[in-house]
Structure 1
Amino acid sequence: MTSQLTPVEILNTPVHPVTMAGTLTAVQQFMAEPRLHQICTTNPEFVMAAQRDPLFRQILQEADLCIPDGVGLIVASRWLGRRAGQPLLPQRVPGSELVYHLAGLCAQEGWRPFLLGAAEGVAAKTARVFQEKYPALRIAGTYAGSPAPEENEAIVQMINESGANMLLVAYGAPKQDKWIYRNQDRLTAVRVAIGVGGSFDFVTGKSTRAPRWVQNLGLEWLHRLLHEPWRWRRMLALPRFVLYILWQSTLGK
């Protein structure tokens, strides 16, 4: 599917113009193919990190699917797309909502996801929430772990022995995406691997999403900053992203 989609280029970072339904269709196609497919939940922070991190930029450029998880990308695609003649991003595909759809799809198709990352016990609690919502769901395993090199071998072995064919990694970007990229040839049965950031925290109620009206205004980042002030350094990427987009759109006129 993604081979038929022309990605939107935002500051040299590809983002695929997919909806939630289109994302799930792509996942179904990926699961039928005999190799691992990496999905990235791209947002403005990803784009700005890629400007200074060559490996992360390469990962995003080589990923099988980069979904638009960030309202800033939707706005940027409209500013830049009309000038560049490239497609627009149709809607935001939030990773925190996608994980529920993936759990439901796994229950429907009989796939076995492995939940990796987040704080101790959070992945296991996430699995319980999913199984309560989707009783047919079979979770291959859960583990907090870390992206530290000394844990790598044991984690890869654990996932392979679990029989998982889907992997959700909650180490936060870019660590989660680099971990998947580094181990993609060693995860023998996994067909789809996706970095899901703080999604497990949202599922378990450890963190709360902004009200829908705040999301619709594109101010979810402000809600997170007010509730998680320790994120302020990461949030600095957002005004920088806006300035970069304005600069690029001005140059193109």
Structure 2
Amino acid sequence: MSIYAGRFAGRTAVITGGASGLGHAVAERIIAEGGQVSIWDMTAGLEEAAERLGCHGVGVDVSDADAVAAAASESLAALGKIDVLVCSAGITGATVPVHEFPIDSWLKVVNVNLNGLFYCNRAIVPHMLAAGYGRIVNVASVAGKEGNPNASAYSATKAGVLGFTKSVGKELAGKGVIANALTPATFESPILAQLPQSQVDYMRSKIPMGRLGEVHESAAMVCFMASEECSFTTASTFDTSGGRTTY
């Protein structure tokens, strides 16, 4: 049981990419701490994950703005309100030099990682403003600060998430809605299956702690960011990088 049992009592959360990885770990913890959750995903494992967690689930492609708007309405009807948004859905794209990067892969990464995150924020922020309360956690990456070679689309979109979050956080400051970004270094998760082992080894070599992160470490940080305890810091970035980031 979490040492923060009851921290999310009476609170509700929408978590994208919630069927696996970081999104699933955050959903599990928020539920354990008394909250209600609606997970969004487009994987075949969504139904099983929602059943395992005992929560609401919505199949949605976040790169489709109309689908996101419909999912927001469905989650609102199921939960009654939306206090927390955690945008964890993301893809890596191709692992090649920029001059070899397939245009279709570039566009897909941008549409999921950046446009999709924008659609989710855009759809849910009005409900938070109406309630006078909200917590938004946009999951970026250390790649958005430092850039990873052969990952130009991923690095660019995660840098975009940081800029977007700083902007929206300032817009919402003083209105009861807090928005921050998370920049984890590589951690053990299903997304690693999208990468060649050489790329994983490179990213591990850049972490002073000498290991990949563990999903529960980033989930713990997200849950602080998503809680009432995070009440003053907004338009900012929280790191779980094992010492990799320099700013």
TM value normalised by structure 2: 0.33
TM value normalised by structure 1: 0.32
Larger relative contact order (Cα-Cα within 8 Å, sequence gap ≥ 6): 1
